[in-house]
Amino acid sequence: MKDYTLFDWLTVSAYLAVGLLFAYLVRINSLLKGTPEEIRKLADSPWQPAHLKETYERLRACPVDYTANLPPKQDRRYVSSEASSCCSSWRAAPLPRTSGSSTSARQNAATCRRAPAAAVDFAQADITSPSSVAAAFARPWPPAAGRLPLTVFHTAAVIIPSDRSPHVYAFPERVNVAGTRHVLEAAACAGADVFSCTSSASVAIRPIEPFVAPWRLGAWPRHVWQVLDCRDFFGRPLRPHAEFFGNYPASKAVAERLVCAANRRGFRTGCIRPANGVYGSPSDNILGDPLSRAVMPTWATHIVQSFVHGANVAVAHLHHEAALLRPDSPQAGRPYVVTDPNPPISYNHMYTAIRTLSIHPFMVLSLPPALMLLLAHANEWWSVLPYKFPALKGVIPAVGGDARYLKPGLFSICTHLVATNEESSRPVSEGGLGYKGVVTTVEGMVQQILEWNVEHAGENGQGYIARKAYTTSVSLADQIQKLGALSNTITISGRYTSEE
């Protein structure tokens, strides 16, 4: 009989450990690819190609009326701030519809393309500089407009959702927190009596805990599905940074508290939380990014989430303004979640729409989530090395391309996230906003694909041209950060109209 040496036992133990680790990762992979029954019951039914084509033809003949369901006209001045937000251009569009006979609308928006908003003049300001923002607000108004009360819509923010390390928190803090404080102070000094800020429903997201203990048989990872509401705001202190999935929601949560705490008589403030991803703009990450790709690598095809069209966010802000104008408004000093007026969808709904309707070829490359999770942790560890050890700056190469965004924070926003309009849709008399979305998710996404096809159609409608260069709000924020001294520049401008 063979005598086993210590080396033999160590070899067998190593093989056993590797086998157990592999089996554990297979289990984690299976869990991350699953959809809990609670979420299946809430999700919208699959989008069928025939229905998508029917919706496409209907919208081509009669586009969505984004001005539907707006509150009564207001005779006011408007200032709107934007950096890389997805909804400012939509908010500027309804302003002429909601304004009275003498209107002034100012907007900080570098990417505004919608027709009414395109007429708005633009002036740049450094959102991190109090004097620069104050100077923008101090620009003179025409005499007729200068006497009108002032509403400020603040949406300017930078969106880098994958970063969570405190070592790189300074940039979103400088823009999202300090920038919000400066706009808030300038608005108050300018005599504004309404301040409506775009927050984010992502501030409610808890970091997913994907590594389930091996002995918890049948258990889902903690926070694999979550409800996006405002319970984190009411009666609870701000969570520590580590309890947010990333620097972006942490900074937006701080900014939200600043805005809501500033509420007082004569200066009504509050926030709108779009859930979960905003689409429908020229730089959105949800639909615009996959539209711009021939191959979409993803592990989130099955993930169910509530999305919101930028036009619906704009409409929500206008209802928010109307509610804040009421004396002693209970809607002031708090956030409201808004989403599209339909059940949540999976990413596969959207990918089916792109495959069915886009004039460009499109395919999905499914990736194993457990493997991507391990790579995300490795990438994050590598990216923070120069901050922990300054001597390594300029020595070790930085990860480039889309891979630089692959970090654990992405797995928290690629969980099942469900929001509801229950509070925001209540009548104003019952403490709600009276909000009703103007476009469903299927209509909004089909309309965006239709606009994409028109933009990329060949001559005389024959064939198609190559995909144009596309910049998402995430990659835009990355570019802005690299500009250094120019990284905090936004634009503020005015447009003066009269219907007299």
pLDDT score at 1: 57
Give how far Cα 309 sits from Cα of 333, 437, 459, 462, Å: 24, 9, 30, 30
Find the mean pLDDT for residues 457-461. 70
Check whether domain 37-368+394-456+467-498 has CATH 3.40.50.720, yes or no: yes
> Per-residue confidence at 86, pLDDT binned at 50, 70, 90?
very low
Q: What is the pLDDT of residues 226-246, one digit of tens each?
A: 999 999 999 889 999 999 999
Supply the pTM of this predicted model: 0.89
pLDDT score at 15: 87
> Per-residue confidence at 459, pLDDT binned at 50, 70, 90?
low
Question: Which of the pair, 500 or 182, is modelled with greater confidence?
Answer: 182
Q: What is the pLDDT of residues 395-417, one digit of tens each?
A: 889 888 888 899 999 999 999 99
Find the mean pLDDT for residues 203-218. 92
pLDDT score at 73: 85
pLDDT at 29 over 70: yes
pLDDT score at 479: 66
Residue 191 neighbours by CB distance under 10 Å: 12
pLDDT score at 403: 87
CB 176 within 8 A of CB 481: no
Helix (H) or strand (E) holding 416: strand 416-419
Q: What is the pLDDT of residues 272-323, one digit of tens each?
A: 999 988 999 767 889 999 999 999 999 999 999 999 999 999 999 999 999 9
pLDDT score at 500: 33
pLDDT score at 159: 87
pLDDT score at 310: 93
Sheet holding 268-274, edge to edge: 335-338, 268-274, 194-198, 150-154, 77-81, 102-107, 494-498
Give how far Cα 361 sits from Cα of 265, 285, 294, 300, 471, Å: 55, 19, 6, 20, 20
pLDDT at 94 over 60: no
CA angle 132, 120, 138 (to 5 degrees): 30
pLDDT at 108 over 60: no
Question: Which of the pair, 467 or 176, is modelled with greater confidence?
Answer: 176
pLDDT score at 121: 54
Pairing, β 494-498 against β 102-107: antiparallel
Q: What is the pLDDT of residues 119-171, one digit of tens each?
A: 455 667 888 889 999 988 888 888 877 789 999 999 988 888 889 999 999 99
Q: What is the pLDDT of residues 406-456, one digit of tens each?
A: 999 999 999 999 999 999 999 999 999 999 999 999 999 999 999 999 998
C-alpha to C-alpha distance for 365 and 424, rounded to whole angstroms? 37
pLDDT score at 426: 96
pLDDT score at 487: 44
Find the mean pLDDT for residues 374-393. 93
CA angle 344, 346, 347 (to 5 degrees): 130
Cβ within 8 Å of residue 210, ≥6 positions away: 28, 31, 32, 221, 224, 373, 411
Both tokens assigned to 239: 């969570």
Share of the chain above pLDDT 70, in %: 84
Q: Which residue has the tokens 């596309």?
A: 470
Question: Which of the pair, 160 or 99, is modelled with greater confidence?
Answer: 160
The mean pLDDT value of the chain amounts to 85
CB 320 within 8 A of CB 336: yes
pLDDT score at 328: 83
Q: How many residues does the chain have?
A: 500
Q: What is the pLDDT of residues 463-497, one digit of tens each?
A: 778 887 777 766 666 666 666 544 445 545 444 33
Alpha helices in 94-246 (DSSP H): 95-98, 115-118, 130-137, 143-146, 170-172, 179-189
C-alpha to C-alpha distance for 154 and 186, rounded to whole angstroms? 11
Hey, which of 73-82, 141-150, 245-254 has the most confident mean pLDDT?
245-254
